[in-house]
Amino acid sequence: MTFQGFAGRRAVITGGSQGIGFAVARLLHHQGASVVLVARHLPALKHAAAQLSADGREGTIDYFPCDLGADRELSREFIDFVQNRLGGLDYLVNAAGGARVTGALQATWEQWHADFSVKFWGYFAMIRALVPMLRANGRGAIVNIAGVSGIDPNSSLAVAGPVNAALRALAKVLADELAASQVRVVNIHPGATETALLASMAEAYAARQADAVDRVLDRMRTSTPLGRLPSADDVATLACFLLSDQAALITGTGIEIDGGVHRGLA
């Protein structure tokens, strides 16, 4: 799919070494954008960057190892790296972290802290670090991947729900704060998605339900009204539309991509 206006644009993508983050990076790069991938594990980052660079597209591919759960005030080194490599910024996509299968009281304080550290504080730290570049640019967009459990609480995703709900509230207030700079903020709310994380989630569900992993996966895939789960590429296509100039009036909201699982009116 082709979108308008990505040639020469610049993006930072967290969680960019795999899954949804990597799919977004690949699609943006195919459209001519230059991308900096951010993730914790250097070998995975190098592998992802090599895959994208091998495509021979016009934009550049760089990477920076960073633990979003540990660095509240992102280092000056990272900010300088983005400025030096990209010369500014047009887009930030936060796609790091996952969803832990656990109950609210079952989860330890350490698990609550770890999940908020990566997916809420980590996203916010990245936004705080890079917003000055977006403002200086006079336009831009931030897309946060925040699972549908933030809209539709799930007792088996009892930590992920509050984390993603907090990201929904954050998008609203940031959209207001950044509107004068023409910087948009949008959340994407995927349901269970066909990535490597799906298998580990199914294993955790199976253990929790005393069921077989294959049966859990089959139920997850067939219980949606559309009869299938979104792929990482499905989510990436939506992300790139929301980043694009075609979505210039979409801000301060969230869009679900879950095959119709969420049934609520809000």
Give the tens place of pLDDT for each residue, 138-156: 999 999 999 888 888 888 8
Q: From the DSSP assignment, how many helices (H) and strands (E) are in the chain? A: 9, 7
- What is the per-residue pLDDT for 2? 66
Mean pLDDT of 11-19: 95
Where b means 16+ CB within 10 Å and e means fewer, 182-209 reads: ebbbbbbbbbbbbbebbeebbebbbeee
Please give the DSSP secondary-structure letter assigned to residue 97. -
**Amino acid letter for position 135:** R
The pLDDT assigned to 71 comes to: 62
- Whole-number pLDDT of residue 97: 84
User: CATH number of the domain at 10-193+230-254, please?
Assistant: 3.40.50.720
Q: What is the pLDDT of residue 70?
A: 66
Query: In the chain, what are the domain boundaries?
Result: 10-193+230-254
pLDDT tens, position by position, 212-223: 888 878 887 888
Tell me: the pLDDT tens digits for 67-98?
A: 876 665 677 889 999 999 999 999 999 999 88
State the pLDDT at residue 101. 83
Q: Is the pTM of this model over 0.85?
A: yes
User: Across residues 240-262, what is the average pLDDT?
Assistant: 93
Per-residue pLDDT of 110-133, as tens digits, reads 999 999 998 999 999 999 999 999
**Mean pLDDT of the chain, nearest integer:** 90
Name the nearest CA neighbour of 96 among 63, 74, 69. 69
Highest mean pLDDT range out of 20-24, 95-99, 256-260? Answer: 20-24
C-alpha to C-alpha distances, 13 to 68, 199, 266, nearest whole angstrom: 12, 23, 28
pLDDT over 70 percentage in the chain? 96
Is residue 25 scored above 70 in pLDDT? yes
Q: Tell me, what's the pLDDT at 154?
A: 83
Return the half-sphere exposure (C-beta side, CA atoms, 13 A cut-off) of residue 122.
29
